[in-house]
A = this chain, B = another copy of it.
Amino acid sequence: MGDSPASGADTVAAIGEFGLIRRVTENMPQPSTTLLGPGDDAAVVAAPDGRVVATTDALVEGVHFRLDWSTPVQVGRKAVAVNLADIAAMGAVPTSIVVALACPSDTPTAVVTELLEGVTAEAGRVHAGVVGGDMVRADHIMISITALGDLGGRPPVTRSGARPGDVVAVCGRLGWASAGLAVLSRGFRSPVSVVNAQRCPDPPYAAGPAAALAGATAMIDVSDGLLADLGHLAECSGVGIDVQSDRLTVPERLVDVGAALGADPMHWVLTGGEDHALAATFRSLSDLPEGWYPIGSVGASESGVTVDGVPYDREAGWRHWS
């Protein structure tokens, strides 16, 4: 990024929509699933299964990210990651994404190209093509992504298949992004490991299809917080879920951050969103694929989610528009 971000010499207004799209899409590698990439009215993507999995999630500047906290690359990666995690949570493998990007006219071209560099990098981690997009003018940066995926002949793993007696398990990090947010909110920039977790999640994409193959009965990605998202799963399945807190090891790094900030790190683990771990239910402990660990069990009652048998008494998870 240059020294004079809004000087007009290299802003999105100066280069224009078509010039920017050309700059961004030329030399962009495409996987074999991309049958027709960017540059036409629409893209064509392979859907070998005969079904396509689709999800959309948007990030807004000042609401979901701040460019004084995150680099444009990190924001682009995060915007893709939250979508790919949803594809994984159905047990599907991502095939492609499309990107709608809104930004002010005086946005430096470099911010846009770096955002899209992040988009391309994160999609590339799972060999998903960036197959299309739209660029529009707005007062703030907003990046809206739709991800598509393929089920490989398997049924989708929904939120509604959990049954009493099932084991509840998790794969991926819990509480890290929330700890990172607490650090950033107080004006600190370290420890980098938790701060970077807030800037960009690292969802265990491959664990979704692996869980589906292993017979997961229900699955969800942890975007709002473990208890909140298990609540969605419990509600959709018409069951209760009890989490055993002694199964949830609080990572040493989060213990340290909690001590430094005077906060309870277990609260981050139980209610922190934005890490996009996967939570799923399995018929038995022996079904759990590598990387998954048990954290609780499914009960018959529709009593929602409890921790060690009792309701958790602190506000659980992230509420939008609050």
Contacts and interface: CB of A to CB of B under 8 A. Distances in A.
A319 B51 CA distance: 37
Interface in A113-168: 131-140, 142, 144, 146-149, 151, 156, 158-160
Contacts of A56: 98-100, 132-134, 144, 146
Contacts of A159: 39-41
A192 interface: no
Interface string A221-252: 10000000000000010000000000000000
Contact of A52 (B40, B136, B148): B148
Contact of A45 (B43, B54, B147): B54
A133 B54 CA distance: 10
A30 interface: no
A25 interface: no
Nearest to A278: B41
Contacts of A64: 136
A304 to B, nearest CB: 14
Interface in A1-56: 12-13, 16-17, 35-36, 39-56
A245 B286 CA distance: 74
A93 interface: no
Interface stretch (A68-76, A83-91, A260-268, A288-296): A83-91
A98 B85 CA distance: 17
Nearest to A17: B320
A39 B100 contact: no
B12 A132 contact: no
A310 interface: no
B139 A139 contact: yes
A132 B320 contact: no
B140 A139 contact: yes
Given A16-B320, A42-B53, A56-B146, 9 more contacts: A41-B85, A43-B53, A44-B54, A47-B47, A60-B138, A64-B136, A135-B320, A137-B320, A138-B140
